[in-house]
């Protein structure tokens, strides 16, 4: 799946950047709004950056557990990174909570106009052995891309898949 991103910058005839946030559109004055609009529309120099993004990303990580703490290092979304996972102890065995802090893409190469590292805080709360909900903040220190997220998932281990695959009628022909 591909996606294009366009980013525009405007400059006046002296090569000074026109900042969109500094333009005065006014609330009641139509003339002010038109003047601000015309300043961008008829700017002598316009710079367009088009970045084609590919959402196919890979991860390959190595980790080591120390009781409730796990440290990981490797490839996160096609760039080098590291992470720390911590199992939060609760007073019940029915709910398990794991909080994670991940840092990767330290130079901001996968984002436009961003040179800060991508830092993600993720929480997974397991309600059963295989069912969980996730929430957190992605790209926490990004100028334009910080955003909360939530979701859920199903996790399977080797033993779970083994029992499911052995019950499928693959290769059996019945007459």
**DSSP notation for 81-125:** EEEEEEEE--S-SS-EEEEEEEEE-TT-TTSTT--S-EEEEEEEE
**pLDDT tens track for 63-108:** 999 999 999 999 998 889 999 999 998 988 889 999 999 999 888 7
Q: Which residues pair with 72 in a beta bridge?
A: 63, 83
- Residue pair 101/121 in contact (Cβ under 8 Å)? The answer is yes
**pLDDT tens track for 99-151:** 999 999 888 777 766 788 899 999 999 988 889 999 999 988 887 788 899 99
The structure's pTM equals 0.62
3-state DSSP assignment of residue 111? coil
2 pLDDT higher than 60: no
**pLDDT tens track for 16-46:** 777 777 776 666 777 777 777 777 776 766 6
Domain boundaries, the chain: 2-54, 60-161
- Indicate the pLDDT class of residue 61, thresholds 50, 70 and 90: very high
Q: In the chain, what is the greatest distance between 2 CA atoms, to the nearest angstrom?
A: 83
- Indicate the pLDDT class of residue 173, thresholds 50, 70 and 90: low
Q: Which residue has the higher pLDDT, 166 or 135?
A: 135
Residue 164, H or E segment: helix 158-167
Which residues 6+ apart lie within 8 Å of 170 measured at CB?
none
- Indicate the pLDDT class of residue 1, thresholds 50, 70 and 90: very low
Q: Which residue has the tokens 């084609």?
A: 52
């Amino acid at each position: 799946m591909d996606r294009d991103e366009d980013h525009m910058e405007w400059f006046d005839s002296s090569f000074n950047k026109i900042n969109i946030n500094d333009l005065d559109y006014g609330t009641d004055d139509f003339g002010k709004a038109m003047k601000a609009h015309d300043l961008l529309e008829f700017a002598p120099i316009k710079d367009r950056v088009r970045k084609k993004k590919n959402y196919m990303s890979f991860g390959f990580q190595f980790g080591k557990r120390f009781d409730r703490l796990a440290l990981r290092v490797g490839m996160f979304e096609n760039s080098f990174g590291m992470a720390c996972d911590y199992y939060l102890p609760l007073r019940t065995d029915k709910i398990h909570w794991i909080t994670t802090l991940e840092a990767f893409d330290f130079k901001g190469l996968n984002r436009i106009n961003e040179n800060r590292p991508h830092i993600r805080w993720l929480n997974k709360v397991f309600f059963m052995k295989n069912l969980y909900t996730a929430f957190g903040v992605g790209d926490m220190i990004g100028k334009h891309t910080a955003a909360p997220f939530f979701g859920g998932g199903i996790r399977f281990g080797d033993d779970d898949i083994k029992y499911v695959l052995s019950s499928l009628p693959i290769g059996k022909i019945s007459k």
